[in-house]
Amino acid sequence: MALEVGIVGLPNVGKSTIFNALTAAGALAANYPFATIEPNVGVVDVPDERLATINQYQKTEKIIPAQVRIVDIAGIVRGASTGEGLGNKFLSHIREVDAILQVVRCFEGGDITHVEGTVDPIRDIDTIDTELALADLETVTSSLDKAERLARSGDKDAIAKAEVLKKCKAQLNEGKPVRGIEFSPDELKLVKGLGLITAKKVLYVANVAEDDLHGESPLVQRVRDRAKAEDGAVVPVCGKLESELAELGPEDRKEMLESMGLKEPALATLAREAYRLLGLQSYFTSGPKEIRAWTIPVGATAPQAAGVIHTDFEKGFIRAEIYTLEDLKQYKTEPAIKAAGKMRAEGKSYVMKDGDITHFLFNV
């Protein structure tokens, strides 16, 4: 699954610090507005404690978690939609990702001056929304002209497309994202084909101070209220702390987290939320060579899930043998699960559930 999530934000809000910590990419980017022109791409493990639980009952040589691809996109500035600060190039990078992590600064002080001179996360979100809406408006306006010309000849598809584009245009004219519109399933298909930036799902990443790790400040609360109104979510992350944690070995990291009363780095939550934002879930395979999480879209059928391992598995799919983590905890071994009648045989129409432990039977 080569789905990608892009990290965006205004310059100097801590976006590259968080990206580098996420991907443990080492040296932090220089502190100037156009630090990241070509996007960096990092592959991030999605922490999943279910893998370790399976390993308690089934010994293996290695454990392979699911991964998500993160793209670090250059700081967006006011006027990006008109080409300000190499804006068009950046906007084309955002068009290519499947969902967006929007980093907003939610702490005062520090050595780095905010590009707008003051810290106001809602103004920052509005600035980015406006720039992305203006870029989409250009796309929608030119598509609408074409669709309306075709619609005049009675072309049914063009008539339907023109209606959807009119809805989008009205929303974008108000500087609001297209994801705020309720579309019918058919309209949604048309919208997906337009490649609009503001139709993508967004997760807000509140970059917080070291004394506000759980994001309880009024600044973060304002971002939460905004996200709630959009049916979205917020993950508080202290970029400074996370970049320090990323440089430590496993034991030192564990010790530092414990000293701060934390179970895991905030980036673990962020990776899981990014995975969910993309509409992904995991199923597991387990054996003496490896225990592995495989990535599939929510709603994938058993043959589609088999195809993620190898296309031959999908072509020659016979059935899937499936049990749950709860079954494994209760019965301890696969033979015991089978003996208890808990190993299910599922056919081609079975829709996979998150966390299914699976063996595929196929012939080539």
Asked whether residue 13 carries a pLDDT value surpassing 60, the answer given is yes
**258: helix, strand or coil:** helix
Per domain, the residue ranges of the chain are 4-277, 299-362
Strand (E) or helix (H) holding 64: strand 62-64
Residue 109 buriedness (CB in 10 A; 0-12 / 13-18 / 19+)? exposed
**96: helix, strand or coil:** helix
| Residue pLDDT, tens place only, 108-152 | 877 766 777 789 999 999 999 988 999 899 999 999 999 999 999
Residue 28: predicted pLDDT: 34
Residue 93: predicted pLDDT: 83
Strands (DSSP E) contained in 65-222 are 67-72, 99-105, 201-207
Instruction: Report helix angle 250-259 to 239-246, nearest 10.
Output: 150
Residue 126: predicted pLDDT: 92
- The CATH number of 299-362 is 3.10.20.30
| Residue pLDDT, tens place only, 15-36 | 989 998 988 743 333 333 444 4
Token pair of 178 as six digits: 């297209």
Residue 89: predicted pLDDT: 62
Asked whether residue 56 carries a pLDDT value surpassing 60, the answer given is yes
Please state the CATH superfamily assignment of the domain spanning residues 4-277 in this structure: P-loop containing nucleotide triphosphate hydrolases (3.40.50.300)
Sign of the Cα torsion 165, 171, 176, 182 reads: negative
| Residue pLDDT, tens place only, 139-186 | 999 999 999 999 999 999 999 999 999 999 999 999 889 999 999 999
pLDDT band, very low/low/confident/very high, at 308 (cuts 50, 70, 90): very high
* Among the listed residues 177, 245, 274, 182, the one whose alpha carbon sits nearest the alpha carbon of residue 24: 245
Please report, as a single letter, which amino acid is at residue 45.
D
Q: Which of 15-19, 93-97, 243-247, 323-327 is predicted most confidently?
A: 323-327
Residue 1: predicted pLDDT: 52
Q: Tell me the average pLDDT across 245-271.
A: 93
